[in-house]
Amino acid sequence: MAFSSLNLLFGAGVSREVARLSAEAMVGSFIQAAIVVVVPAAIILLWVSQKDALSR
């Protein structure tokens, strides 16, 4: 079973260029997700933590 799925994956005749483009698109989507989700969330958390600082 595992061999047949590996044969399907590697024997599909996909060119290296298609695989490279797919990998580049995946990395690009990770970077875009970080910009759209992680960076604003970090900024909001920092802003809230500064506004809600405990007085010593």
Phi, psi of 16 (to 5 degrees): -65, -35
pLDDT tens for each residue of 9-56: 666 666 778 888 888 999 999 999 999 999 999 999 999 988 877 655
How much is the pLDDT for 41? 94
Q: Which residue's structure tokens are 């298609």?
A: 18
1 in any annotated domain: no
How much is the pLDDT for 33? 92
* Residue 1: pLDDT over 60: no
55 in any annotated domain: yes
Provide the domain count of the chain.
1
CA distances from 39 to 13, 32, 42, 46 (A): 39, 10, 5, 11
33 in any annotated domain: yes
How much is the pLDDT for 50? 87
